Amino acid sequence: MSNHQDQPMSVGERRYAMFLLVTVYTSSFIDRSIINILIEPIKNEFHVSDTAMGFLTGFAFAVFYATLGIPVARWADRSNRRNIISLAVAIWSAMTAISGLAQNFWQLALARIGVGIGEAGSSPPSHSMIADMYPIEQRTSALAIYSWGIHIGIMLGAVLGGWIAQTWGWRYAFFAVGLPGLLLAVLVRFTVKEPPRGATGGAATKTETIPLAEVFAHLWRVKSLRHTIIGCTLVAFVGYGVASWGAPFLMRSHGLTIAEVGVILGPIAGFMGIIGAIASGKAADRLSMRDARWTPWIVFVCKMAAIPFIIGFYLTADFWIAIWFMPLTVALGATYQGSTFAMVQTLSPVRMRAQASAVLLFVINLIGLGLGPSAIGITSDLLAPYYGEESLRYALFGVSMLGIWGAVHYYWAGKSYREDLQEIGATASAQPA
| Residue 358 backbone zone (phi > 0: left; psi -120 to 50: alpha; other: beta) | alpha
Higher pLDDT, 82 or 135: 82
Chain segment 43-87, per-residue pLDDT in tens: 999 999 999 998 888 888 888 888 887 788 778 877 889 999 999
Average pLDDT, the chain: 86
Chain segment 352-403, per-residue pLDDT in tens: 877 787 788 788 888 888 899 999 999 999 999 999 989 999 999 999 999 9
- The H-or-E segment that residue 142 falls in is helix 136-146
User: Which amino acid belongs to residue 142?
Assistant: A
The answer to whether the beta carbons of residues 353 and 128 sit under 8 Å apart is yes
Position 407 in a domain? yes
The answer to whether the beta carbons of residues 162 and 153 sit under 8 Å apart is no
Distance CA 27, CA 35 (A): 14
Per-residue model confidence (pLDDT) at position 356: 84
Q: Residue 198: is its pLDDT beyond 70?
A: no
CA angle (128 as vertex; 123, 134 as ends), nearest 5: 120
Chain segment 151-180, per-residue pLDDT in tens: 889 889 989 999 999 999 999 999 999 999
- What is the percent of the chain with per-residue pLDDT over 90, rounded to a whole number? 47
Position 205 in a domain? no
Per-residue model confidence (pLDDT) at position 208: 59
Per-residue model confidence (pLDDT) at position 177: 93
Distance CA 41, CA 342 (A): 39
Residues 6 or more apart in contact with residue 167 via CB below 8 angstroms:
259
The answer to whether the beta carbons of residues 120 and 68 sit under 8 Å apart is yes
Position 63 in a domain? yes
Higher pLDDT, 203 or 90: 90
Distance CA 176, CA 25 (A): 17
- What is the percent of the chain with per-residue pLDDT over 70, rounded to a whole number? 94
Residues 6 or more apart in contact with residue 222 via CB below 8 angstroms:
347, 420, 423, 424
Nearest to 336 by CA among 233, 267, 417: 233
Nearest to 27 by CA among 105, 122, 98: 122
Chain segment 287-336, per-residue pLDDT in tens: 888 888 898 999 999 999 999 999 999 999 999 999 999 999 999 988 88
Per-residue model confidence (pLDDT) at position 11: 80
Per-residue model confidence (pLDDT) at position 390: 94
Which of 51-55, 58-62, 114-118, 184-188 is predicted least confidently? 58-62
Q: Helix 391-400 crosses helix 223-254 at what angle (to 10 degrees)?
A: 160
Per-residue model confidence (pLDDT) at position 62: 85
Position 201 in a domain? no
What mean pLDDT comes out for the span 250-266?
91
Distance CA 300, CA 14 (A): 31
Position 202 in a domain? no
Per-residue model confidence (pLDDT) at position 344: 87
The answer to whether the beta carbons of residues 161 and 38 sit under 8 Å apart is yes
The answer to whether the beta carbons of residues 299 and 339 sit under 8 Å apart is yes
Give the CATH number, domain containing residue 177. Answer: 1.20.1250.20
Which of 36-40, 187-191, 411-415, 418-422 is predicted least confidently? 418-422
Q: Residue 213: is its pLDDT beyond 70?
A: yes
Distance CA 61, CA 41 (A): 19
Nearest to 198 by CA among 42, 351, 357, 86: 351
The answer to whether the beta carbons of residues 241 and 130 sit under 8 Å apart is no
Distance CA 59, CA 35 (A): 13
Position 204 in a domain? no
Chain centroid to Cα 295, Å, comes to 18
Q: How many domains does the chain have?
A: 1
Per-residue model confidence (pLDDT) at position 234: 95
What mean pLDDT comes out for the span 117-124?
87
Supply the range of the domain harboring residue 403.
Answer: 2-196+210-429
Distance CA 101, CA 96 (A): 10
- Per the document, the length of the chain is 433
What mean pLDDT comes out for the span 217-241?
92
Collapse the DSSP code of 71 into the 3-class scheme (helix H, G, I; strand E, B; otherwise coil) and give the result.
helix
Per-residue model confidence (pLDDT) at position 199: 58
